[in-house]
Amino acid sequence: AQERYASIRDTPCVSACGTRIEMHMNAGLMADLPSLENSGAEGVGLFRTELQFLVRNQMPRRTELAALYSRVLDAAQGKRVVFRTLDIGSDKVLPYMKPNDEPNPALGWRAIRVGLDKPGVLRMQLQALLRAANGRPLSLMFPFVAQYDEFAAARAEVDKAIDREVRLGHPLPEAIEIGAMLETPSLAFASQRLFDEVKFLSVGGNDLKQFFFAADRENERVRKRYDTLNVSFLTFLQGIVDRCRESGTRLSFCGEDAGRPIEAVCLAAIGFETLSMRPASVGPVKSLLMRTDLRQLRDVMARSRDRGDQSVREAVMQFLRANA
Ligand code: PEP
Ligand code: MG
């Protein structure tokens, strides 16, 4: 399938109305890295570090992790890789960790909540990332941040890890940028400090959508009822885009919807200028973006909303059939 899009692989993605959209890919295992070149992605917008923990029978050691992350950066050849710190709990349970018996795992003790309450593994991981970068730039982000102080506490762990490396005389990354995933509605309304202090925000649409509609992402029966192009969800996303614009916060979208061409052009139309998706989606999404006038699409979406449509999908499909 990627051959079909080979002719645009190395072309920067610019929409028909001249908006530059950055195309990144999601990854998690070493085996994903060759896709960086094959897909033409400009970087790894989401590196799910838990996958490397999930494919093992025991907790990886720090040296092993540092070597792995270093190989990831080598393979990226200078393209940006955003490492997301461990996102376990909920649907991702490590075989060598005591399972938690929680009534609602998706709303439970997971991701950064575990990282802050039991910081041993997070600290080990941060140290491994700092060592792997070794003179190169390092981007990292924390999963499932629901309020400002979780971001601040996680960032303090990075500062501590840096101090430790300095004391040990180890080289530091050339630069470190720290961001957060926006996957709980609460974070969209967080104090301004959050928007000022994060280097970037990345919308985790899979989780954000499940919490916005209160519909379990693992449960087909309820998941399918709520369209991403539902007006209330788009209005919510638009608010996030506007807030980030006002505070000059870099914003991207890395949930599965970024890899669905119709959804992706709508995200771009409301102002997402960086999308991160599975590698196989880069070609099809880019191809549609390059054929789409996002300003016109934006008007189509606004008119559909003003008419009282529940979802803008029908109007969008009609417009794309006629114009893209
Ligand atoms: C998301 O929630 O949209 C996301 C990208 O993270 P994950 O799918 O790994 O939960
Ligand atoms: Mg998520």
Pairwise CA distance, residues 164 & 113, whole Å: 23
Ligand 1 site, residue 209, Cβ cutoff 6 A: no
Token pair, residue 301, equals 């979406």
Identity of the residue numbered 213: F
Supply the pTM of this predicted model: 0.97
Task: For residue 293, give the 3-state DSSP assignment.
Answer: coil
Q: Which residue has the tokens 């087909």?
A: 220
Q: Are 17 and 273 in contact (CB under 8 A)?
A: no
pLDDT in tens, 234-251: 999 999 999 999 999 999
Q: Which atom of ligand 1 is nearest to the CA of 48?
A: 9
Q: Whose CA is nearest to atom 8 of ligand 1?
A: 206
Q: Would you state the pLDDT for residue 96?
A: 85
- For residue 7, the surrounding DSSP H or E stretch is none
**Centre of ligand 2 from the C-alpha of residue 196, in Å:** 22
Ranges in the chain, pLDDT < 70: 1-2, 90-91
Q: Which residue has the tokens 């601040």?
A: 152
Say yes or no: ipTM exceeds 0.85.
yes
**Centre of ligand 2 from the C-alpha of residue 48, in Å:** 10
Ligand 1 site, residue 111, Cβ cutoff 6 A: no
Q: How far apart are the two ends of the chain, measured CA to CA in Å? A: 20
With the most atoms of ligand 1 within 8 angstroms of its CB, the residue from 206, 216, 237, 252 to mutate is 206
pLDDT in tens, 124-157: 999 999 999 999 999 999 999 999 999 999 999 9
**Centre of ligand 1 from the C-alpha of residue 163, in Å:** 31
Ligand 1 site, residue 205, Cβ cutoff 6 A: yes
Ligand 1 site, residue 183, Cβ cutoff 6 A: yes
Q: Whose CA is nearest to atom 6 of ligand 1?
A: 204
The phi, psi pair for 44, rounded to 5°, reads -100, 110
The phi, psi pair for 62, rounded to 5°, reads -65, -40
